[in-house]
A and B are shown apart, each in its own frame.
Chain A
């Protein structure tokens, strides 16, 4: 079955550590996105990528980095520069411009700083 897989489901980070969240899709979507969800804040865009080897900062990119070396994969690294990383992270993907427009989401990763 086609879909988006995020791993791990739960992740714990120590102070000063970098951690990487995985996102893989087999829907042949061109575009991929990372959102952060905090209570009462809705979903805020961290980074997005419309095509392989290209990505753009979203509204809250500071302290995060991404790569898009393959169409199927869009990993997110939470660096030590992110001062408040505890949150729920959602990865999404969609078709390119002019095609069906809804986004599909993974099941999320809950990141906690310990």
Chain B
């Protein structure tokens, strides 16, 4: 079974600085998707960024980028120029690519709580 591990329960960053959140996963499959979701105090889950395992290029969305190391099964999220609105829980998630009739649900890590200091 696939598992996702986030080893940092809490992180803190100064406004305008850069922070990196860690995520590792375990799978025997070669094709899959990885995601970072943000959950602000409103508790709405918001997709931050997505990475296809078959793509070597790291995904980027504005101030958010990932460092995807497939061999090491590592998928870290870098937030540049941190803003107060970035304060939230961040969840790393895994999804199989070709799930056919079996489950295609997301498997989540336990989350990292990010605080942003003004």
* Residues in A lying within 8 Å of B, measured CB to CB: 31, 33, 35, 40-45, 48, 50, 56, 58, 88, 90, 92, 94, 96-98, 101-105, 107-108
Contact = CB atoms under 8 A, between A and B. Distances in A.
A97 B98 contact: yes
A43 B103 contact: no
Main SS class of interface, A:
strand
Main SS class of interface, B:
loop
Interface of B: 9, 33, 35, 42-45, 47, 50, 91, 95, 97-101, 103-111
A48 to B, nearest CB: 5
Contacts of B110: 40-42
Contact of A107 (B42, B95, B98): B42
Contacts of B91: 42-43
A107 B104 CA distance: 21
Contacts of B35: 102
B50 A101 contact: yes
B45 A105 contact: yes
Given A97-B98, A97-B100, A101-B97, A33 B109 contact: no
Contact of B50 (A92, A102, A105): A102
Contacts, number: 59
A65 B91 CA distance: 26
25 contacts: A40-B9, A41-B110, A42-B91, A42-B111, A43-B91, A43-B108, A44-B108, A45-B103, A45-B105, A50-B104, A90-B45, A92-B106, A94-B104, A96-B104, A97-B98, A97-B100, A97-B104, A101-B104, A102-B47, A103-B95, A104-B47, A105-B44, A107-B42, A107-B43, A108-B43
B95 A101 contact: yes
Residue with the highest number of chain B CB atoms closer than 10 Å, among A41, A56, A101 = A101
Contacts of B109: 42
A88 B9 CA distance: 19
Contacts of A108: 43-44
Nearest to A105: B45
